[in-house]
Structure 1
Amino acid sequence: MMKPVLEIRNLRLELEEPLKGSKPIVSDINLKVHPGEVHALIGESGSGKTTIALSAMGYVRPGLTRAAGQVFLKGTDLFTLSPHALRDIRGNRVTYVAQSAAASFNPSLRIGHQVTETPREHALMSVAEAQAKASMLYQELRIPTPDKIAHRFPHEVSGGQLQRLMAAMAMISRPDLIIFDEPTTALDVTTQLSVLMAFRDLIKKHNTAAIYVSHDLALVAQIADRVTVLLNGEVKEEAEMSALIAAPKHEYSRVLMAAGTPSSDCPQAGQTETCGEIPLLRLESIYAGYGPVDANGQPAYPVIRDVNLSIEKGAVAGIIGESGSGKSTMAKVIAGLLPAARGEMLIKGTPLNPRVEDRNNEMVRRIQLVSQSADTALNPSHTIEKILGRPVEYFTGLKGSARRSRVRELLELVSLPPSVMDRRPSELSGGQKQRINLARALAAEPELILCDEVTSALDSIVRNSIVDLISQLREKLGLAILFISHDVSTVSRIADTVAVMHRGLIVESGPTGRVLVKPEHPYTRLLLNSVPRVEIGWLEKAYEKVQFEQSVLMSAKEVTSTLQG
């Protein structure tokens, strides 16, 4: 029988200074990964996925200690090696593809220099050989203009291209094992599909062993041969991927299956519309972008063009589209952070000033923005009480005990205990921080909340809980919500109406039950065909459908260009 590239035996990692009653971070971990095999580690945030994956590099996170167990790379116990020997292995025989490619590349160095750095530094091949190998990998990973990409800087390529370039960097040294740690989480669905296809083909072609860390069972089903399901640092189930999908044995595996299955229950048309009422918010022929604005109201670098949109009182309007389609720009325009160059915005029929600084407190109060990243939106040095107390005092004038009482009410609204008040953001989980982000917007007692990709960085179970919370707030407070996302399945669960954005234009809009069930535009069909399903073989079928819809889009673009010419 073929020997495993990686074998983990009875691994247990604990806190260096354990608290009374604390449990191991991960315990009794056993797994094997063979050449050409992808072994997935799946579970929600805090399940120990990344901690286990990093142990495959002989690495234990600060604050933890190895209490028991061994990790063998081709028969060598990594934890018996010296720091110098481990340095030779990391980035060479075992490589790592991180979640955020943008944070992993040096912005001041050209891409080609960074991709070829490992083989040059370890003297594995000559500069010319490294460049030739990199060029071959660019082609295998389907990176556009592979002959020119090496001369660019990281900021000059897209997020999807950067993720593929990280894979090229990881594969160039011909590693025994490659670790993918949530490599497509931050990508939109269409980019995610092509990146996943490229990763899978590359692994099989080079017969490389791989660990794939993810919270998304639908994604894992397209690339993994075996899967280990983790919860609170313990293995709940290990099986062949096909066997797990066919008949998951553990209850938690079934929960992950349900969380990864797109919802087919779309809100029905007209259930929130009120005949004859003026919309809460109306956008009319909005143009926005960056740079100088010409005499016709056109910015030098347009991002959104001729956008018309209405949001009814108490309704949820979804905006979907891939990265760069203009979704977040629309939120900034409505919030007044990026003034529209042309067009009109009306709130209950009253004109809304384009700039937030020109709006009075009442107008600012009525529309609140909840940003994508709670980590950057919440001041790390302030307690939760101060973070929520400031907008409470600003918008309501409450002080002292009354202010503190209102903060407690806000925490209760987002299902957090009062004890959270004295903590700082770093002491909270990702889901808890996003609830605080929502609570801060609610402090103004708004009529409309702009939710800009608020669930994109969360695992599937936490994401579903946040969506449920937003639905509850809408019902309880009568809020209208603009829900912006590249995740079609999430929008289908929450939105009454949906608008599809592509290259700054709304290409299709209407009731969610119609647009997402019977789409008319090829771009909408492309998005829907890109939503992963917990189904073996889905990736190949989806890739063919997406390629077809992209060809239809290109044909339509050529016809439009000819007519305009």
Structure 2
Amino acid sequence: MRRLRTLTGAALLAVPLALAVAGPWLAGEPGERAFPFADDGLLGTDFVGRDVARQVLLGGRSVVVVAVSATLLAYLLGVPAGLLAAATRRRWVDELLMRPLDLALAVPSLLLLILLAATAPPGPLTLVGIVALIGLPEITRITRAAALPLAHGPAMEAMRLYRETWWRRGPGYVGTGIRRVLLADVGVRFIGAIYLVATASFLGIGVAPDAADWAVMVDRNRTGLFLQPWSVAVPAALIVCLAVGFNLVTDRMLHTPAVPSPAPPPAPATTGDHVHDALLQVRELAATTAGRTLVDGVSFSLRAGEILAVIGASGSGKTTTARALLGEATPGVTHTGTITLAGRPVTTASPPEPGTVGYVPQQPGAALHPVRRIGAVLHEVARHQAPGASRSTRGRTVATTLERVSLPTDRRFLRRFPHQISGGQQQRLVIAHALLAHAVLLIADEPTTGQDALTREAVAGELTKLARAGIAVILLSHDLHLVRAVADQILVLHRGAAVESGPAAEVLAVPRHRHTRQLLATPPARPPATVRPDRPLLRVTDLSAAHRDGGRRHEVLRDVNLAVAAGRCLAVVGRSGSGKTTLARCIAGLHPAHTGQVSLAGQRLAAHLDRRQPHELGAIQYVFQDARASFDPYRSVVDQIGRPARRLRDATPDRAHHTARHLLDRVGLAEHTATRRPDRLSGGELHRAALARALASEPRVLICDETTAGLDRVTRHGILTLLDELRRDLRLAVVVISHDRDVVAHLADHVVVLDDGVVVDSGPADALLHHADHPLTRALLYTGPATAPTPSNP
């Protein structure tokens, strides 16, 4: 079907383009004029008695040439301006570029066209310039909005750390990332250009009012539409073919062909009270793509008010199964089997009714509207559920729902945007949307990734409250502490197949399958470290840092001091929002807005990484929390692993490739796997690849920000063991940012505890893990339930 649409679009586009190119040579010499709107000739005559067929042959060139030229010029000017505004780290540059364009957007395009027409000499070049200037502000703004998250995301920051070329960062990464947005926009922009060309012709700009031009023909001949319809219908149809064909062709560039899921077979007969009362029933669910099985015959059922925990190693099929419950599938993936929710079958062709299923993604901010205020969206959801309710009634409903998920209900909170609240609040806000929509099933994907022990306990309480309210919950998690706290049932997946399932107490107490035992196994304790009075390699002295919230300056770090020697590991722990990541970014030079001093081997480093020398950049490397987001999705992983060696050590291409292969072998990643793009690798494989890339510059300090977050226990243990080996063998000074006690116990020699930007506790890891005095340290690093009071709110 999509191929047919593409061929249709190409055919529709070819006709007007062919006439625009070849028409003037086929038109011949003009004949004598006849009566207006007469039947003379193939298509009759126009409003001044000219042959309509000849006018059609002559009229395409001006429309196509001017519209294409104006659209192309607008993009040639607007895209670079938008990219510059998005990529700049100087606010005044962004303001200087965007504010004049915002003023131009405030003026209606027709009024702007009239104003420009009054001051510009007529002619085709003037028309091209005017139409381009009218489209320029919108193109610049769209480009800036699309490029902004890419230009300041983890992948761009990773490239800045090894001083990647501007060509790879700009056109190579950001340009490729926004091409789909621009393709979607160019069709609309082209049609708008045709409209403006026609309007300008009526105002005496460009072509003459009686010239052979399709747009002019439609306008001037409409008075005789019923006398000679061909004089209007033919040029109008050609303009429509031009527009529709162009959009169909660009639409083909925006989509990857997907293999539709076949209709599910009839559900098999089932027995048993649990199945009979089930809200959700899944039978023999399978997902395949390109000869590879992602999910293999998974079956389970879930009653209202129950919590099912789905656990398994990275790549075991958890997310694919969850997407199937939402009626979604990755392009190219085929589903078979049956899914029934509240008695209604669920397929990709008939997903659940809107609001029936709530989904809390691993990054909840991605599920929230970035440019709409929290309260406006909540009221809209409430209005959709109760169209006849008054505004005050909706307000009470919204307030009650926010109280259920422990969120503020005051006007100040409701007027915030999603990016102005913490990750935990974003997570609870997504749950509030589901409650307002009367969801019967909630799917939570790694809800405690990167969260501290106290926040994890709060999440467990919220999930339990939802289940008590009668909502079925499916929890996808590697956090076994959370699973033990909330799960009623457990489903264990391994390589797409369900290898074990049953009541949570039974599975946790007596796991039957070997893979389940591996997932639940407690990692071996590391022998106590011997403390040596080594000279610090990395030292941070009196470091303070701030963020800007609008026009306000918010201090997030105050007078932080720490040191770490070569071959040693320092763990920085604290509640979410305590300043840990900001501290790590200051050390790496990614957050220059700080005071104090960062020194490497006694030499003070510049605050901004752009002012550091290549050898200083190579000496301190950063491993991002979201390994997938830190890679360029359009280039192979092995190519990106070798880039730091080329950029920071001046290695030849062959030498850089040799370095990449050596590091891949060192981190246990097969070379044929790394030749793929990042989307083809699992989370564990990408974490290993991120480590290899950081090591390519031969660093002396390695900063790991929640580098094991979202990984299963088996994969996490492999990453931690690898890190421990690397820092011992290469004499690396490692700074680990983590909420995970197991990570601290496995790696750390020394621990620093942050609370609200201040160091409140520090000392040897063994002492703080087992004999901490500070209540926050005990709450964060104690293995049992957190009983200490919450020291502060992040």
The bucket for the TM-score relative to the shorter chain is 0.7 to 0.9
SS in 2 for 1:374: coil
Q: Do 1:115 and 1:165's aligned partners in 2 also have CA atoms closer than 8 Å?
A: no
Match of 1:29 in 2: 298
* CA distance in structure 2 between the aligned counterparts of 1:449 and 1:362, rounded to whole angstroms: 14
Match of 1:368 in 2: 621
Match of 1:289 in 2: 546
Match of 2:315 in 1: 46
SS in 1 for 2:599: strand
Cα–Cα, structure 1 residues 381 and 143, in superposed 2: closer, same or farther, change >3 Å?
Answer: same
Match of 1:537 in 2: none
Please point out which of 454, 461, 476 is paired with 2:714.
Answer: 461
* CA distance in structure 2 between the aligned counterparts of 1:194 and 1:228, rounded to whole angstroms: 23
Please point out which of 640, 646, 654 is paired with 1:393.
Answer: 646
Match of 1:142 in 2: 406
Match of 1:152 in 2: 416
* CA distance in structure 2 between the aligned counterparts of 1:125 and 1:213, rounded to whole angstroms: 37
Is 1:74–2:342 an aligned residue pair?
Answer: yes
Match of 1:480 in 2: 733
Q: Do 2:574 and 2:755's aligned partners in 1 also have CA atoms closer than 8 Å?
A: yes
Deviation track 1:469-505 (CA, whole Å, cap 9, x = no partner) reads: 1111112212111111122221221111111111111
Is 1:355–2:595 an aligned residue pair?
Answer: no
Match of 2:555 in 1: 302
Cα–Cα, structure 1 residues 527 and 343, in superposed 2: closer, same or farther, change >3 Å?
Answer: same
Cα–Cα, structure 1 residues 403 and 54, in superposed 2: closer, same or farther, change >3 Å?
Answer: closer
Is 1:327–2:596 an aligned residue pair?
Answer: no
Query: Within 5 Å, which residues of 2 pair with 1:549-560?
Result: 549-550=789-790, 553=791
Is 1:218–2:481 an aligned residue pair?
Answer: yes
* CA distance in structure 2 between the aligned counterparts of 1:384 and 1:365, rounded to whole angstroms: 19
| Greater alpha carbon shift after TM alignment, 133-142 vs 506-515 | 133-142
Deviation at 1:230, TM superposition (A): 0.8
Match of 2:286 in 1: 12
Deviation track 1:495-551 (CA, whole Å, cap 9, x = no partner) reads: 11111111111111111000111111111122134x6x6xxxxxxxx36x14xx22x
| Greater alpha carbon shift after TM alignment, 322-331 vs 334-343 | 334-343
Please point out which of 761, 772, 776 is paired with 1:523.
Answer: 776
Q: Do 1:272 and 1:315's aligned partners in 2 also have CA atoms closer than 8 Å?
A: no
Letter of the 2:346 counterpart: L
Q: Do 1:389 and 1:407's aligned partners in 2 also have CA atoms closer than 8 Å?
A: yes
Please point out which of 246, 260, 268 is paired with 2:528.
Answer: 268
Query: Within 5 Å, which residues of 2 pair with 1:338-349?
Result: 338-339=591-592, 341-349=594-602
Deviation at 1:357, TM superposition (A): 3.4
Is 1:279–2:536 an aligned residue pair?
Answer: yes
The count of corresponding residues between Structure 1 and Structure 2 is 516
Letter of the 2:465 counterpart: D
Give the number of the structure whose residues are more often helix, by fraction. 2
* CA distance in structure 2 between the aligned counterparts of 1:467 and 1:35, rounded to whole angstroms: 39
Structure with larger Rg: 2
Cα–Cα, structure 1 residues 14 and 364, in superposed 2: closer, same or farther, change >3 Å?
Answer: closer
Deviation at 1:350, TM superposition (A): 3.0
Is 1:164–2:417 an aligned residue pair?
Answer: no
Is 1:432–2:685 an aligned residue pair?
Answer: yes
- Structure-2-length-normalised TM-score: 0.61
SS in 2 for 1:472: helix
SS in 2 for 1:265: coil
* CA distance in structure 2 between the aligned counterparts of 1:450 and 1:426, rounded to whole angstroms: 24
Please point out which of 513, 517, 524 is paired with 2:766.
Answer: 513
Is 1:103–2:358 an aligned residue pair?
Answer: no
Q: Do 1:99 and 1:186's aligned partners in 2 also have CA atoms closer than 8 Å?
A: no
* CA distance in structure 2 between the aligned counterparts of 1:52 and 1:466, rounded to whole angstroms: 26
* CA distance in structure 1 between the aligned counterparts of 2:569 and 2:757, rounded to whole angstroms: 21
Deviation track 1:36-65 (CA, whole Å, cap 9, x = no partner) reads: 111222112221223223333444443222
Deviation at 1:257, TM superposition (A): 1.0
SS in 1 for 2:354: coil
Match of 1:132 in 2: 396
* CA distance in structure 2 between the aligned counterparts of 1:57 and 1:424, rounded to whole angstroms: 26
Deviation at 1:116, TM superposition (A): 4.3
Query: Within 5 Å, which residues of 2 pair with 1:171-210?
Result: 171-204=435-468, 206-210=469-473
- The higher relative CO (CA closer than 8 Å, separation ≥ 6) is in 1
* CA distance in structure 2 between the aligned counterparts of 1:339 and 1:266, rounded to whole angstroms: 36
Deviation at 1:420, TM superposition (A): 4.0
Match of 1:231 in 2: 494
* CA distance in structure 2 between the aligned counterparts of 1:65 and 1:398, rounded to whole angstroms: 45
Deviation at 1:354, TM superposition (A): 3.1
Cα–Cα, structure 1 residues 133 and 356, in superposed 2: closer, same or farther, change >3 Å?
Answer: same
Deviation at 1:366, TM superposition (A): 2.1
SS in 2 for 1:311: strand
Letter of the 2:766 counterpart: G
Deviation at 1:133, TM superposition (A): 2.5
Deviation track 1:321-351 (CA, whole Å, cap 9, x = no partner) reads: 1222111222222222334743333322333
Deviation at 1:169, TM superposition (A): 0.9
Can you give the 5+ residue segments of structure 2 that lack an aligned partner in the other structure?
1-272
Cα–Cα, structure 1 residues 63 and 117, in superposed 2: closer, same or farther, change >3 Å?
Answer: farther
SS in 1 for 2:400: helix
* CA distance in structure 2 between the aligned counterparts of 1:233 and 1:414, rounded to whole angstroms: 25
Cα–Cα, structure 1 residues 314 and 174, in superposed 2: closer, same or farther, change >3 Å?
Answer: same
* CA distance in structure 2 between the aligned counterparts of 1:400 and 1:387, rounded to whole angstroms: 12
Cα–Cα, structure 1 residues 50 and 446, in superposed 2: closer, same or farther, change >3 Å?
Answer: closer
| Greater alpha carbon shift after TM alignment, 422-431 vs 519-528 | 422-431
Q: Do 1:112 and 1:131's aligned partners in 2 also have CA atoms closer than 8 Å?
A: no
* CA distance in structure 2 between the aligned counterparts of 1:96 and 1:33, rounded to whole angstroms: 16
* CA distance in structure 2 between the aligned counterparts of 1:524 and 1:197, rounded to whole angstroms: 21
Is 1:55–2:324 an aligned residue pair?
Answer: yes
Deviation at 1:175, TM superposition (A): 2.8
Q: Do 2:478 and 2:710's aligned partners in 1 also have CA atoms closer than 8 Å?
A: no
Letter of the 1:11 counterpart: L
Match of 1:561 in 2: none
Q: Do 2:586 and 2:594's aligned partners in 1 also have CA atoms closer than 8 Å?
A: no
Deviation at 1:436, TM superposition (A): 2.0
Cα–Cα, structure 1 residues 97 and 339, in superposed 2: closer, same or farther, change >3 Å?
Answer: closer
Match of 2:249 in 1: none
Cα–Cα, structure 1 residues 284 and 78, in superposed 2: closer, same or farther, change >3 Å?
Answer: closer
Letter of the 2:281 counterpart: E
Deviation at 1:429, TM superposition (A): 1.9
Letter of the 2:633 counterpart: P
Cα–Cα, structure 1 residues 264 and 391, in superposed 2: closer, same or farther, change >3 Å?
Answer: closer
Cα–Cα, structure 1 residues 178 and 401, in superposed 2: closer, same or farther, change >3 Å?
Answer: closer
* CA distance in structure 2 between the aligned counterparts of 1:479 and 1:509, rounded to whole angstroms: 21
Q: Do 1:97 and 1:170's aligned partners in 2 also have CA atoms closer than 8 Å?
A: no
* CA distance in structure 2 between the aligned counterparts of 1:400 and 1:153, rounded to whole angstroms: 46
| Greater alpha carbon shift after TM alignment, 399-408 vs 493-502 | 399-408
Percentage of identical aligned residues: 35
